[in-house]
């Protein structure tokens, strides 16, 4: 076990020392070579560069992924809180507008007799004349692209 602990302290640039330690380990367990008769060589971890483990079992990688995960959870919580605050702010502003007697765009157009409709992309209410003009100038979809609302 002490040889394995010594091997784990070496980085990829110390491959000669790692090779000697690995030879000692293989001699202790009674092996002379690999399946094809060649020398058994240690491999350095692809993540941290130290010998003695693979990327799958790398403690540095595991710790980093846990920290990244915790950071993502915190970021998501901050974003949800910001969205909640924005929604509350919007509701408060709407309540203030309606308490002052202000009307929504749709209500105002209805009172003024302006013909209106919802934009096809769902971005709000527009006068029908504008939508009809846009429909004439923008070509129709030839074929729908799957997995999106776009067209060609």
Joined tokens for residue 118: 């919802």
**Residue showing tokens 């729908």:** 144
Indicate the average pLDDT of the chain. 86
Rounded CA separation 45/3 (Å):
17
Q: Please compute Rg for the chain using Cα positions.
A: 34
Query: What pLDDT digit, counting tens, does each position of 34-74 carry?
Result: 778 788 889 899 999 999 899 999 999 999 999 999 999 99
Domain residue limits, the chain: 2-53, 58-102, 104-152
Q: Give residue 113's region: left, alpha or beta (phi > 0; psi -120 to 50).
A: left
Contact 9, 30 (CB under 8 A): no
Split at pLDDT 50, 70, 90, the class of 102 is confident
């Amino acid at each position: 076990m002490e040889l394995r602990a010594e091997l784990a302290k070496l980085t990829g640039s110390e491959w000669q020392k790692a090779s000697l330690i690995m030879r000692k380990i293989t001699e202790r367990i009674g092996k002379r070579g690999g399946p094809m008769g060649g020398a058994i060589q240690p491999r350095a971890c692809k993540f941290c560069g130290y010998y003695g483990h693979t990327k799958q079992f790398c403690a540095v990688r595991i710790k980093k992924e846990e920290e990244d995960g915790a950071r993502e959870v915190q970021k998501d919580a901050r974003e949800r809180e910001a969205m909640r605050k924005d929604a509350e702010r919007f509701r408060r502003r709407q309540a203030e507008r309606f308490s002052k007697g202000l009307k929504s765009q749709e209500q105002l157009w209805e009172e003024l007799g302006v013909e209106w409709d919802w934009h096809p992309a769902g971005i709000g209410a527009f006068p029908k004349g504008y939508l009809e003009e846009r429909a004439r100038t923008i070509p129709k979809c030839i074929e729908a692209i799957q997995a999106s609302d776009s067209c060609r």
